[in-house]
A and B are shown apart, each in its own frame.
Chain A
Amino acid sequence: MKAVVTVIGKDNVGILHKVSGICTEYNANVLEVTQSVLQDMFAMIMLVDISAMSADFAQLVDRMETLGKELGLSIHTMHEDIFNSMHSI
Chain B
Amino acid sequence: MLNVYDILETIRMIQDECLDIRTITMGISLLDCIDTDIDKACEKVYNKIVDRARNLVPVGQQIEKEYGIPIINKRISVTPIAMLAAACPNQNPVKFAKALQRAADTCGVNFIGGYSALVHKGFSAGDMALIQSIPEALDVTQNICSSVNIGSTKSGINMDAVKLMGQIVKQSAERTADRDCIGPAKLVVFCNAVEDNPFMAGAFHGVGEPDCEIHVGVSGPGVVRSALTKYPDASINEIADVIKKTAFKITRMGQLVGARASKELGVPFGIVDLSLAPTPAIGDSVAHILEEMGLEMCGTHGTTACLAMLNDAVKKGGVMASSTVGGLSGAFIPVSEDAGMIDAAVAGVLSLEKLEAMTAVCSVGLDMIVVPGDITPETISAIIADEAAIGMVNSKTTAVRLIPAIGKKEGETLEFGGLLGSGPVMPVREKSPAKFINRGGRIPAPMQSLKN
Return B245 CB to nearest CB of chain A, in Å: 11
Type the 1/0 row for B2-25, where 1 means its CB is closer than 8 Å to any CB of A: 111011111100010000000000
Whether A87 contacts B65 by the Cβ 8 Å rule is: no
Whether A77 contacts B68 by the Cβ 8 Å rule is: yes
Whether A83 contacts B6 by the Cβ 8 Å rule is: yes
Return A15 CB to nearest CB of chain B, in Å: 17
Whether A58 contacts B7 by the Cβ 8 Å rule is: no
Type the 1/0 row for B102-123, where 1 means its CB is closer than 8 Å to any CB of A: 0000000000000000000000
Closest to A77 in B: B68
Return B377 CB to nearest CB of chain A, in Å: 48
Instruction: Say whether B249 faces chain A, with CB atoms less than 8 Å apart.
Output: yes
Closest to B12 in A: A8
Query: In whole angstroms, how far apart are the Cα atoms of A82 and B2 in the complex?
Result: 11
Type the 1/0 row for B62-75, where 1 means its CB is closer than 8 Å to any CB of A: 10011111000000
Instruction: Say whether B153 faces chain A, with CB atoms less than 8 Å apart.
Output: no
Instruction: Say whether B336 faces chain A, with CB atoms less than 8 Å apart.
Output: no
Using A6-B8, A45-B7, A76-B11 as known contacts, say yes or no to A85 and B66 having CB atoms under 8 A apart. Answer: no
Whether B62 contacts A82 by the Cβ 8 Å rule is: no
Return A20 CB to nearest CB of chain B, in Å: 16
Chain A residues positioned under 8 Å from B65 (CB to CB)? 57-58, 61
Instruction: Say whether B357 faces chain A, with CB atoms less than 8 Å apart.
Output: no
Whether A4 contacts B2 by the Cβ 8 Å rule is: yes
Among the 9-residue stretches B226-234, B250-258, B437-445, the one with 4 or more Cβ atoms under 8 Å from chain A is B250-258
Instruction: Say whether A74 faces chain B, with CB atoms less than 8 Å apart.
Output: yes
Query: In whole angstroms, how far apart are the Cα atoms of A52 and B177 in the complex?
Result: 57
Whether B15 contacts A74 by the Cβ 8 Å rule is: yes
Whether B1 contacts A82 by the Cβ 8 Å rule is: no
Closest to A82 in B: B67
Report the interface size class on chain B.
20 to 34
Chain B residues positioned under 8 Å from A63 (CB to CB)? none
Closest to B255 in A: A85
Query: In whole angstroms, how far apart are the Cα atoms of A38 and B398 in the complex?
Result: 51
Whether B253 contacts A58 by the Cβ 8 Å rule is: no
Chain A residues positioned under 8 Å from B8 (CB to CB)? 6, 8, 43
The 8 Å CB contact of B249, one of A74, A78, A87, is A87
Chain A residues positioned under 8 Å from B1 (CB to CB)? 32, 34, 47
Instruction: Say whether A25 faces chain B, with CB atoms less than 8 Å apart.
Output: no
Query: In whole angstroms, how far apart are the Cα atoms of A83 and B371 in the complex?
Result: 44
Chain B residues positioned under 8 Å from A11 (CB to CB)? none
Return B159 CB to nearest CB of chain A, in Å: 47
Whether A6 contacts B7 by the Cβ 8 Å rule is: yes
Query: In whole angstroms, how far apart are the Cα atoms of A57 and B68 in the complex?
Result: 12
Chain A residues positioned under 8 Å from B62 (CB to CB)? 58
The 8 Å CB contact of B68, one of A8, A32, A76, A87, is A76
Chain A residues positioned under 8 Å from B69 (CB to CB)? 78, 82
Query: In whole angstroms, how far apart are the Cα atoms of A85 and B256 in the complex?
Result: 7
Query: In whole angstroms, how far apart are the Cα atoms of A77 and B66 in the complex?
Result: 8
Whether A82 contacts B6 by the Cβ 8 Å rule is: no
Instruction: Say whether A49 faces chain B, with CB atoms less than 8 Å apart.
Output: no
Chain A residues positioned under 8 Å from B249 (CB to CB)? 86-87
Closest to A34 in B: B4
Whether A4 contacts B7 by the Cβ 8 Å rule is: yes
Query: In whole angstroms, how far apart are the Cα atoms of A32 and B65 in the complex?
Result: 22
Type the 1/0 row for A40-84, where 1 means its CB is closer than 8 Å to any CB of B: 000101010000000001100100000000000010111111111
Query: In whole angstroms, how far apart are the Cα atoms of A39 and B62 in the complex?
Result: 37
Return B162 CB to nearest CB of chain A, in Å: 43
Query: In whole angstroms, how far apart are the Cα atoms of A58 and B3 in the complex?
Result: 24
Query: In whole angstroms, how far apart are the Cα atoms of A34 and B5 in the complex?
Result: 12
Whether B10 contacts A45 by the Cβ 8 Å rule is: no
Given A43-B8, A87-B10, 10 more pairs with CB closer than 8 A = A4-B7, A6-B11, A34-B4, A58-B66, A78-B10, A79-B67, A79-B68, A84-B2, A85-B256, A86-B256
Q: A residues near B, CB below 8 A? A: 4, 6, 8, 32, 34, 43, 45, 47, 57-58, 61, 74, 76-87
Instruction: Name 11 interchain pairs, CB-CB below 8 A, sorted by A.
Output: A4-B7, A6-B7, A32-B1, A45-B2, A77-B68, A79-B66, A82-B256, A85-B256, A86-B249, A86-B253, A87-B2
The 8 A-B residue pairs with the shortest CB-CB distance in the complex, in nearest-first order: A78-B68, A87-B6, A85-B256, A82-B67, A85-B252, A86-B249, A58-B65, A79-B66
